[in-house]
Amino acid sequence: MNLNIKLIEKAEKNHCLSEEELISILKDDSINNILFEAADRIRKKYVGDEVHLRGIIEFSNICRRDCLYCGLRKSNTNIKRYRLMPYEIIDLAHKAAGYGYKSIVLQSGEDLYYTVDIMKHIISNIKKLGVAVTLSLGEKTFEEYKAYKESGADRYLMRIETTDKKLYEELDPRMTHEERKRCLRDLKHLGYEVGTGNLVGLPNQSIESLANDILFFKEIDADMIGLGPFIPNEDTPLKDYKVDNFEISIKVMALVRLLLPDANIPATTAMESLNRNGRVIALSSGANVVMPNITEGEYRKLYAIYPGKICVNETPNQCWNCITGKISSIGRTVSKELGCREKRNMA
C-alpha cells in the first residue's frame, strides 16, 4: 500500500500528522481522491450534513494597508472606492435575516472611518435580529476587539495568510507577523470564535510552508479555517504571476479537516472563481460552510480583492436560491442554527 494512503488513514483515526507527513501527502497527487473521500467522511462524522450559510456584507473597499496580493490595497488607483453608512449595513442585515441567514459577516478593508462607537452601533443593532455576528476588519487593538465583543460580536476572521514570516512581511509591507499573531491571541483571550486561514499558491510559497500553515491552525485550535487560492489581480504588483492552485487548495482544506475534525471550514468563493463547480467540490472534500455575498448593487463588483469573482451580477436573493440548490443537489441541507463550533470528543 502507498505510504501516503497509510498516512491518510492515520490522520482519519488520530487527527494528527507531522510536518514531514503533511509534506509527503501534499506532494503526492496520486492519492488525492482518497484524501478527499477521507475528509468528507470526517466532515460527516463530526459536523454532519448541514451546511451553514454565512451572509457577507462587504461594507467598505477602502483600506489603509498595501498588501501586494490584494486589489483593495491603498496604492491601487484603478478601483472606485466606496463605504456604506451604518444604516445601510443594518438594512442589509435585516434583509439577509429575512432570506434565512442565521449568521452575518461584516467585512471591509481596514477603513478608519468606522470608529469603535460606529461599529458598536452596527453590531448591537444586527444582534437584535437573533443572528450570529462575525467581524473581518483586520488588525485592531485589544481594547477595540473587547468593545466589539461586549457589543455582541461572536466571531472574528483574521487570516494569517502564511506562516512563513519572511514571505508574509514581503507581501504585507509595514506589517509584522508577530502583530498578526498578537491579534489572534487577543481574540482567543476575549472569547471570540476565531477564524483564520491562508492563501494557497502565493509567489515563493513552499510545500513546507503550507504544511506549517496546517500545523499552525491546529496549534491555535482555530474554530474556523478559510483556505483561499491566490488569484493574481491585474491592479497589483503580482499581476503577472501564473498560478495553478485549485487542486492544492482543496488538498490543504481536506488535510485541515482531518486534523481539526470539528472546525467550521468554508467552501470559499475564490474556489468557484477557478472551477465552476469549486464550492460543490469543496463541500464534498471536507467543507461545511458557504459564505454568499449579500451586498447589493455595484458594490458587489467593487469589492475586488481578486479578479473573476463570481455572482457579482446577481442579487442576494438569487445567490441564496443558487447556493441552496447546489447544497440540495449533493444531498446536504441548509442549517437553521447559528453555526457555532461544537467541540467533539476525538476518540
284 has binding-site annotation:
no
Distance CA(176)–CA(186), nearest Å, equals 16
DSSP lists the bridge partners of residue 133 as 104
Q: CA 336, 109, 167, 229 torsion: positive or negative?
A: positive
Query: What is the SS3 assignment for 324?
Result: helix
152 φ/ψ sector (left φ>0, alpha ψ -120 to 50, else beta) = left
Q: How far apart are the first and last CA of the chain?
A: 25
180 has binding-site annotation:
yes
Distance CA(250)–CA(252), nearest Å, equals 5
63 has binding-site annotation:
yes
Q: CA 7, 216, 283, 286 torsion: positive or negative?
A: positive
Q: How far is CA 330 from the centre of its chain?
A: 22
Place of cell 485541515: 256
161 has binding-site annotation:
yes
Distance CA(248)–CA(246), nearest Å, equals 6
Residue 110's CB: how many other CB atoms inside 10 A?
17
Distance CA(264)–CA(317), nearest Å, equals 24
Backbone angles phi, psi at 306, to 5 degrees: -140, 160
67 has binding-site annotation:
yes
136 has binding-site annotation:
yes
- Residues making up the annotated binding site for [4Fe-4S] cluster are 63, 67, 70
- Residues making up the annotated binding site for S-adenosyl-L-methionine are 161, 180
- Residues making up the annotated binding site are 63, 67, 70, 136, 161, 180
- Residues making up the annotated binding site for (3R)-3-methyl-D-ornithine are 136
